[in-house]
């Protein structure tokens, strides 16, 4: 019966499916998807946007599987900071007389940020979930990655081009800068306040991003401009390290009873 439906699960399944469909659209460069963000200079940039969307989508679906709604906080914080920050950035630019061409995407992302903020405010009527904290080594890694991602996001907003191994338009620099700042907020929150369920959702998103990006990065070695080669090597090493961390904590690490944690 309809009153027995857990609408919170439905919402996260729909959200997850939406983001994953968009991710596939960007990865395959389907025009219906890429028209949502026409500032794509190189094919690998399309894969990068697909990887970010896949991270959000997989996190939503895994959260629906867990059913621990307290774990929604980290992802909600990321969306509020990333999309709310980007929309505010565009609004300020437009008010001060700069034609960004980003009013429509900023408006869409502002709506998503508002929904995420409402989700965070009411906590989806969540009761505290798993109080077991992530492993100390994982918390330490997140506390390192959070500030580093924040600095990378700020650098992108400042116009730095040598952080990712391809050229970027000002519009894409702004979007990716705010998205990375949002991820950094999620990492810091999870390392200090999140339980194991929150960490699992974050790791699933990180794993999905890494798996989506690794092959396009490796293929990019054949065409990368010389000035971006060192950056490409650094990005490849980072992805190999983070996917190893995600695999270990999601699939290999075991508790004293021998079951995966």
Query: Which residue is associated with the tokens 């800068």?
Result: 177
Cβ contacts of 115 within 8 Å, gap of 6 or more: none
Mean of pLDDT values over 230-257: 86
Q: Which residue has the higher pLDDT, 224 or 119?
A: 224
Q: What pLDDT is attached to residue 258?
A: 42
pLDDT at 127 over 80: no
How far from 238 is each of 12, 45, 143, 149, CA to CA, in Å? 29, 17, 16, 12
pTM: 0.87
Tokens of residue 112, six digits? 């998503």
Quick check: 125 pLDDT over 70?
no
How far apart (Å, rounded) are the C-alpha atoms in residues 157 and 168?
Answer: 11
As a whole number, mean pLDDT of residues 230-242 equals 94
Average pLDDT (230-235) is 94
pLDDT band at 6 (very low <50, low <70, confident <90, very high): confident
For residues 128 and 15, give the distance between their C-alpha atoms in angstroms, rounded to a whole number.
22
Average pLDDT in the 25-40 region? 85
Contacts of 71 (CB under 8 A, 6+ apart): 63, 129, 194, 195, 197, 198, 200, 201
**Is residue 22 predicted with pLDDT exceeding 80?**
yes
**Which pLDDT score, from 0 to 100, does residue 3 have?**
57
- Count other C-beta atoms under 10 Å from residue 197's C-beta: 24
Angstrom CA distances, 122 to 72, 73, 82, 115, 208, stand at 11, 10, 20, 11, 28
Q: pLDDT tens for residues 9-19? A: 888 899 899 99
- Least Cα distance to 180 among 199, 160, 198, 194 occurs for 160
């Amino acid at each position: 019966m309809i009153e027995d439906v857990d609408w919170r699960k439905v919402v996260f399944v729909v959200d997850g499916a939406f983001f994953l469909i968009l991710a596939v659209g960007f990865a395959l460069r389907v025009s219906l998807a890429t028209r949502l963000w026409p500032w794509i200079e190189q094919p690998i940039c399309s894969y990068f946007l697909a990887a970010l969307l896949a991270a959000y989508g997989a996190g939503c679906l895994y959260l629906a599987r867990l059913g621990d709604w307290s774990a929604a906080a980290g992802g909600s914080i990321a969306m509020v900071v990333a999309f709310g920050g980007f929309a505010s950035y565009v609004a300020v630019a437009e008010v001060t007389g700069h034609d960004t061409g980003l009013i429509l995407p900023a408006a869409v992302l502002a709506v998503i940020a508002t929904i995420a903020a409402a989700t965070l405010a009411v906590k989806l009527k969540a009761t505290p979930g798993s109080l077991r904290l992530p492993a100390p080594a994982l918390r330490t890694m997140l506390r390192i990655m959070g500030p580093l991602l924040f600095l990378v996001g700020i650098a992108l907003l400042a116009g730095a081009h040598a952080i990712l191994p391809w050229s970027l338009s000002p519009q894409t620099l702004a979007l990716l800068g705010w998205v990375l700042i949002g991820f950094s907020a999620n990492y810091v929150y999870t390392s200090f306040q999140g339980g194991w369920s929150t960490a699992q959702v974050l790791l699933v998103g990180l794993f999905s991003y890494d798996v989506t990006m690794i092959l396009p990065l490796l293929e990019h070695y054949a065409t990368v401009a010389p000035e971006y080669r060192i950056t490409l090597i650094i990005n490849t090493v980072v992805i190999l390290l983070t996917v190893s961390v995600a695999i270990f904590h999601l699939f290999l690490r075991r508790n004293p009873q021998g079951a995966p944690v």
